[in-house]
Structure 1
Amino acid sequence: MDNLQLSTTLIIHPEDLTTKFLDPIYTSIPNKKLIRDELNSERLNKEMESHSRIIMLGHGTSIGLLCPCPETGRLEQIVNIYHAWELSKHSENVYIWCNADRFVLEHDLSGLYSGMFISEVGEAAYCGLGVVSQELVDESNTRFSEIMAEFIHLNKFSILHELKVRYGQLAKTNPIAAYNVERLFAR
């Protein structure tokens, strides 16, 4: 497994209590800059330009990563088509949000990314898993973040391998993890 030479890492993880479980993923990364709230597109592109790796975490859609607007409380795009060119310059980015796969493929980006990712009870029902307990969701969320945190210093393919093996172990007994592990990719 190859270690990445991370001179600087930009973390884009909008402030949201429902995705706080993702915080451990980047806690131990040295030389990082964390963006928790919305920036205008030009300023965010400049931030992306000045970092060697970009990790994006939270809620999103096929058209980008969402951020709660402080004034209105509505979800708005923080990462979107306007950032695709800058993101295309980095091959080891991380895109963890619901349907990030569509965003990555649409813009021919590289990195580690997720498809639909269940992190809440309501999402499990939406994805056809029926009624699941909060405990199962919490177990899946916690284990996913622990594994990502342990291997975040590795390249995208090595991280994916570790997730498939270690998170895959939980998938044997946890239907949320089973659903999610099948929707993790790297290119």
Structure 2
Amino acid sequence: MSTLVVHPKDRSTDFLERAYSGMYCNVLRSFLPETLLCSMMMQSDRLVFMGHGLPSGLIGFDKLYIDCRYVSLFRGRDIFCVWCNADLFMEKHNLTGVCTGMIISEMEEAADCGVNVTEDELLESNTLFAEALRVMVLQDEYDLSEFRSIYKGSSDVIKFNSDRVYIRKKGECLPGPETGGR
């Protein structure tokens, strides 16, 4: 299986490198023009997107880099969207795969979400999160139980983030952490 990882350079998300470091895959950390990016996506069976984002897509290189323009290329491929509110992007475009809701990886995000966390707890959370993602990226079939067996701890940030990793299957709604559904 050929895998393309798109992880725009950003010091605040460098911890995610652990999720694919040393794996046999193509990694894109620098800007690539749309035609070349599309070509790389079309040659890949699995697409992994990581970094900061919005419900409208993945941010990279001072702009919205991965957005609705690429949705047709996602279909028929394993997709893995790890950015804040990627679940809303996937739901809007009826995509299937692994995705995240609002994920806390910085102190400011914790404060914005009302989650009390120390810098040490955040570092531990980021490290474990990337290690757990790595296990999922390496799997042929995605399984949240394996993710959660690695990404566990007593801190509020781990509890918060763990509730916001989803596997979205065709025709299913994503469960919300507090409501049981959207």
TM bracket, shorter-chain basis: 0.7 to 0.9
Q: Distance in 2 between matches of 1:54 and 1:77?
A: 17
> What is the match of residue 16 of structure 1?
10
Contact kept in structure 1, 2:135 and 2:147, CA below 8 Å: no
Root-mean-square deviation (CA), in Å?
Answer: 1.4
Deviations 1:33-89 (CA, angstroms, capped at 9, x unpaired): 111122233322221101111111100110111113xxxxxx311100000110122
Q: Distance in 1 between matches of 2:105 and 2:97?
A: 21
Q: Distance in 1 between matches of 2:79 and 2:118?
A: 32
Q: Distance in 2 between matches of 1:147 and 1:164?
A: 7
Q: Distance in 2 between matches of 1:18 and 1:110?
A: 27
Deviation of the 1:149 alpha carbon: 2.0
The 3-state SS of whatever aligns with 1:77 is strand
How many pairs align?
Answer: 168
The 3-state SS of whatever aligns with 1:28 is coil
> What is the match of residue 31 of structure 2?
38
Which one is further off, 142-151 or 51-60?
A: 142-151
> What is the match of residue 98 of structure 1?
84
Matches within 5 A, 1:113-132: 113-130=99-116, 132=117
Q: What's the TM-score once normalised by structure 2's chain length?
A: 0.87
Q: Give the gaps of 5 or more residues in structure 1.
A: 1-5, 69-74
User: Alignment identity in percent?
Assistant: 30
Q: What's the TM-score once normalised by structure 1's chain length?
A: 0.84
> What is the match of residue 48 of structure 1?
41
Q: Runs of 4 or more off by more than 3 Å in structure 1?
A: none
Deviation of the 1:156 alpha carbon: 4.8
Contact kept in structure 1, 2:135 and 2:146, CA below 8 Å: no
1:186 maps to which of 167, 177, 180? 167
Q: Distance in 2 between matches of 1:61 and 1:41?
A: 19
2:64 maps to which of 77, 82, 103? 77
> What is the match of residue 89 of structure 1?
76
The 3-state SS of whatever aligns with 1:11 is strand
> What is the match of residue 72 of structure 1?
none
Q: Distance in 2 between matches of 1:94 and 1:151?
A: 9
> What is the match of residue 109 of structure 1?
95
> What is the match of residue 57 of structure 2?
64
Deviations 1:95-146 (CA, angstroms, capped at 9, x unpaired): 000000011111111111100010000000111214x221111110001111
Q: Give the gaps of 5 or more residues in structure 2.
A: 169-182
